[in-house]
Amino acid sequence: MHIDLTGRTALVTGSTQGIGAAIATGLAAAGARVAINGRRPESVDAAIDRIRAAVPAADLVPAPGDVATESGAEGVAELLVGVDILINNLGVFGAQPALEISDADWRRYFDVNVLSAARLTRMFLPGMIGRSWGRIQNIASDSAIAVPAEMIHYGMSKTALLAVSRGFAKEAAGSGVTVNSVIAGPTHTGGVEDFVYELVDRDLPWEQAQREFMREHRPQSLLQRLIEPEEIANMVVYLSSPFASATTGAAVRVDGGYVDAIVP
């Protein structure tokens, strides 16, 4: 299958590292013009350099700004014209005892993980509908379905994101625009390495720490390892393509079999 996104413009939020950077790299390799987003211009520039090293012909646009805020999202939108593919990847996570999650923490997780996606969808969906083509994907998590006891505020936000995706898919019905969620399983990123070491012995070598984490805290995984960001990106690139024209309103799993269900 050859995916060609030449002529399409994509915005990937939180794309300076981790899953977001892998998605941006994958879309650029498929020929899309990709806007790289992060809060700081210097981190955006550094990410662009790394992606260009991997994809020398990449057509990349810096789009710095904090899209978890209304003013930041508006600033990013002003930099871009005709976004065809919107990947709402920005998110925060962390372990915290349930009874110690404050009101401010609950609001922060909702603002960053849910409202940022709803806001950008509201901004870009009308243009996609007007052009009769578009792709919106919200990067969710297995935690949306199998909520971890150690981070229920994160699980709440990802469950809400599934509802946001399904609802906007109905708004886009019959327009040629698809809206989906991607349920990512436990994935190997720098942030996840820090999270793993919050839960296992920090003195363990990474490979041993990873195995310990999966055995003790994610035993449901059929993959029995952390997923690599590029594996998430492969699904996102496919869903961004014309080949996925009949997939909308879905919660597509790239979870390594973590969720013990036939369907989400």
Q: Catalytic site residues?
A: 154
Q: Strand locations in 63-101, DSSP E?
A: 85-88
Do residues 221 and 186 make contact, with C-beta atoms less than 8 angstroms apart? yes
Q: Is 191 exposed, middle or buried (0-12, 13-18, 19+ CB in 10 A)?
A: middle
Q: Under the phi-then-psi rule, with left for phi > 0, alpha for psi from -120 to 50, and beta for the rest, what region is 22?
A: alpha
Going by C-alpha positions, the residue among 243, 242, 2, 235 that lies closest to residue 139 is 235
| β-bridge partners, 251 | 181
Structure tokens belonging to residue 116: 């940022």
Which value, in Å, is the radius of gyration of the alpha carbons in the chain? 18
For residue 105, CA distances in Å to 65, 116, 183 come to: 21, 16, 23
